[in-house]
Chain A
Amino acid sequence: MLELWLEGILNAFSFYNLLIMLGGSALGLVFGALPGLGPTLAVSLMIPITFGLSPQASLILLSSVYVSSIFGGSIPAILLNAPGTPGSAATGFDGYPMAQQGKGGVALGISATASLVGGLISVIFLMALAPVIAQFSLRFGPAELFMLALFGLTIIAVVAKASIRRGLVAGGLGLLLSFVGQDLMTGQMRFDFGLIELQDGIPFILGLVGMLAASEAFSLAEKKGSIARAGKIEGNIFTGVALCLKYRLTLIKSSLIGTFVGALPGAGISAANFIAYSEAIRTSKDPDSFGKGNPEGVVASEAANNAVTGGSLIPTLTLSLPGNPSAAAFLAGLMIHGLRPGADLFSVNVNITAAMFAGLILANFVFFGFALVGANFMAKITLIKNEMLVPSILVLSLVGGFALRNRFSDVILIIFFAFLGYFLKKYKFPVVAVVLGLILGPIAERGYHQALMISGGTHSIFFTRPISLFLFLMIVFSIGSQFVKPYIDKYKAKKKQSE
């Protein structure tokens, strides 16, 4: 058996496979960086290419494309506030303010390092604990997913610094937008106004691109200068690498969150991203600095989203249950080559599995290498004049919106979200809350209804299942601490004064 493992690992290091990995990583970065494309499309498009390749080479190609495309999404999120993938939405919350401070290169360094660590930790878990985690993830039923989504939504209380009321209204707006389209539980069309284009619902990537990227173009149109306000770049990628390693605890915690949430079928990469980000805020000594360029925010978000790659492959490889659409595409690639998820992958075909694991690990280093080479150059985007950036961001957002489903109506939706995001920001409503509502709304609603169907309509299901109860207590603690915190701060200040 050990020989087969070694054979597989050595196979991954062959010149041919390394070349495939380099090409796959470069393609993955492009797919990730362009809004509207993303990892699922990237992996899906690679499947026909793998027909002519050996199973090892195929899985190495798919792994490198998958891993790199997720990191690729953070590049425009940091430099232009335009997340390339849904999983990098939270990266822009602190990455973009860093870019505005001239620290785009530093933020990219943090992002690359956190992604590398997150990716590696998740692969280690995939290799060592796949069957155990896969079994545990099956205990996550609808009630747990509902509580997990609610837990993610509690971040609204944290991000709504200016006014909790406006935060809740913004979150509500996001939730309402997530209800547009056919209700999968009842088949009822909701808020579609008779328009066929709205019957499939609003993909949250449109909201992300419109409210974060295109609306930013509107804001830039009102100012002269460049994104880097001081007109110069401070620090470089190596500063970012060093800075990232200072947040070791956040790095590991977010990687574990990403791995675990990634392993939950139906939770998705964006949920992992936001949960890790909100957890970083909650446990930070300086939560007010988040959203203003706190490197820890980038660390949390990026470690979690890349950890999803390994996490999502855990149920995929062991139970044939893909953790997200990209993992589903990966599963298709696996099966096309006659590989069946389950025990066979870890016994009969272990040489292929070993090559894939080695490929996943190497792919993380490859995109890290690409980042080291290119980040300082890419950071110069933040020095380009606003006048040039406005049409560029608008065109990229519009084409990204169109490319998602090849629909003209999506271009209109992007414009709608751009104006919505612009006015929300202008009047101090946290746009993050709308995005959160849009992403977590469907998970929460589906989980709630399915749980009630299982329990026969009684709400006790949410409090009698141990994981669900634990998550509920976390929610209570999380919200309660926000209310209690001002009093504790007051008490501490008083105590300090008296001393």
Chain B
Amino acid sequence: MSILLQKRAGELVFLFLIMIVSIGTLQIASGYRMLSRQFPTVIAWMMLIFIVWEIILFIHKMIKEKDQVSKPAKKGLPSDELIKRWAVIIAALIFYVFFLRRLGFVIVNAVFITVILWVFEERRIPIILFMVLLLAVGLYIGFSQYLNVPLPRGTIFSSMFSF
């Protein structure tokens, strides 16, 4: 993550990733039937040509500007605060994916919202409670009861939230 926050190095890594995707696509598509591989192959070749062109230009530019020190990507927040926020968002998203099915929509969202608000320095309990009620409980009831879209109840606590 930190490497991607460093704009120069991060950008180069991203460009290389796209190049790998293009090569991978060509490799995978070569095993398909004629009609199925036509479009992906043409598109992947186009991407490969342009991304290699872009990488060459980018490296050339980097060499020219090598005296300049790379800076954190965004202004406004100090880098340690930025890294903390990113770490929490990523951890919260991993928690979301792994526990949505088990704990259900309401609990997972309540935890997700509380953690993000807390780390983003919103410590007023009534505000956090309001957000949890609105976005976790409110959305659950709205979607499940009124919009006919069943949201996960959670395999562990399903009986607790059977509205």
- Most B CB contacts (10 A, CB to CB) among A41, A386, A391, A406 go to A391
User: Measured between C-beta atoms, what is the minimum distance from A443 to chain B in Å?
Assistant: 12
Contact B135 A37 (CB under 8 A): no
From B14, B47, B96, give the contact of A411 (CB < 8 A). B96
Instruction: Name the residue of chain B whose CB is nearest to the CB of A182.
Output: B36
A175/B143 contact (C-beta < 8 A), A391-B112, A411-B96 known: no
Confirm or deny: A45 has a beta carbon within 8 angstroms of a beta carbon on chain B: yes
User: In whole angstroms, how far apart are the Cα atoms of A165 and B46 in the complex?
Assistant: 10
Confirm or deny: A387 has a beta carbon within 8 angstroms of a beta carbon on chain B: yes
Contact B28 A423 (CB under 8 A): no
User: In whole angstroms, how far apart are the Cα atoms of A45 and B147 in the complex?
Assistant: 8
Among the 9-residue stretches B63-71, B73-81, B153-161, the one with 4 or more Cβ atoms under 8 Å from chain A is B73-81
Confirm or deny: A4 has a beta carbon within 8 angstroms of a beta carbon on chain B: no
Across chains A and B, the number of contacting residue pairs, with CB separation under 8 Å, is 151
Instruction: Name the residue of chain B whose CB is nearest to the CB of A385.
Output: B122
User: In whole angstroms, how far apart are the Cα atoms of A445 and B76 in the complex?
Assistant: 45
A427/B44 contact (C-beta < 8 A), A165-B54, A411-B100 known: no
Given A165-B51, A183-B36; 4 other pairs, CB 8 A cutoff: A183-B35, A387-B121, A391-B117, A406-B150
Contact with B along A41-74 (1 / 0, CB 8 A): 1000100000000000000000000000000000
User: Measured between C-beta atoms, what is the minimum distance from B88 to chain A in Å?
Assistant: 9
B residues 128-163 near A (Cβ < 8 Å) are 131, 135-136, 139, 143, 147-152
Chain A residues whose CB sits within 8 angstroms of the CB of B35 once the complex forms = 183, 185-186, 188, 449
Contact A188 B36 (CB under 8 A): yes
Instruction: Name the residue of chain B whose CB is nearest to the CB of A42.
Output: B147
User: In whole angstroms, how far apart are the Cα atoms of A146 and B127 in the complex?
Assistant: 52
Confirm or deny: A388 has a beta carbon within 8 angstroms of a beta carbon on chain B: yes
Confirm or deny: A491 has a beta carbon within 8 angstroms of a beta carbon on chain B: no
How many of chain A's residues have a CB under 8 angstroms from any CB in B? Answer: 54
User: In whole angstroms, how far apart are the Cα atoms of A165 and B152 in the complex?
Assistant: 43
Chain A residues whose CB sits within 8 angstroms of the CB of B54 once the complex forms = 163, 165-166, 169
User: In whole angstroms, how far apart are the Cα atoms of A13 and B76 in the complex?
Assistant: 56
Contact A403 B151 (CB under 8 A): yes
Chain B residues whose CB sits within 8 angstroms of the CB of A445 once the complex forms = 39
From B4, B44, B143, give the contact of A399 (CB < 8 A). B143
Confirm or deny: B21 has a beta carbon within 8 angstroms of a beta carbon on chain A: yes
Confirm or deny: A157 has a beta carbon within 8 angstroms of a beta carbon on chain B: no
User: In whole angstroms, how far apart are the Cα atoms of A403 and B142 in the complex?
Assistant: 12
User: In whole angstroms, how far apart are the Cα atoms of A476 and B94 in the complex?
Assistant: 47
Question: What are the 7 closest A-B residue pairs judged by CB atoms, nearest first?
Answer: A387-B120, A172-B47, A188-B36, A391-B116, A165-B50, A183-B36, A222-B74
Interface size bucket, B side?
Answer: 35 or more
Contact with A along B30-70 (1 / 0, CB 8 A): 00110110011001101100110110000000000000000
Instruction: Name the residue of chain B whose CB is nearest to the CB of A185.
Output: B35
Contact B120 A390 (CB under 8 A): yes
Contact A403 B131 (CB under 8 A): no
Contact A406 B50 (CB under 8 A): no
B contacts, CB < 8 Å to A: 4, 7, 10-11, 14-15, 18, 21-22, 25, 28-29, 32-33, 35-36, 39-40, 43-44, 46-47, 50-51, 53-54, 73-74, 76-77, 82, 85-86, 89, 93, 96-97, 100-101, 105, 109, 112-113, 116-117, 120-122, 127, 131, 135-136, 139, 143, 147-152
A residues 384-403 near B (Cβ < 8 Å) are 385-388, 390-392, 394-396, 398-399, 402-403
Chain A residues whose CB sits within 8 angstroms of the CB of B53 once the complex forms = 165
Contact B131 A388 (CB under 8 A): yes
Chain B residues whose CB sits within 8 angstroms of the CB of A394 once the complex forms = 89, 93, 112, 116
Chain A residues whose CB sits within 8 angstroms of the CB of B136 once the complex forms = 395
Chain B residues whose CB sits within 8 angstroms of the CB of A402 once the complex forms = 100, 151-152
Contact with B along A406-439 (1 / 0, CB 8 A): 1010011001000000010011000000000000
22 A–B pairs (Cβ distance < 8 Å), ordered by A:
A41-B149, A45-B148, A165-B51, A169-B51, A172-B43, A173-B21, A183-B35, A188-B35, A190-B29, A190-B36, A221-B86, A222-B76, A222-B82, A223-B76, A224-B76, A391-B116, A391-B131, A395-B136, A411-B96, A411-B97, A423-B10, A427-B10
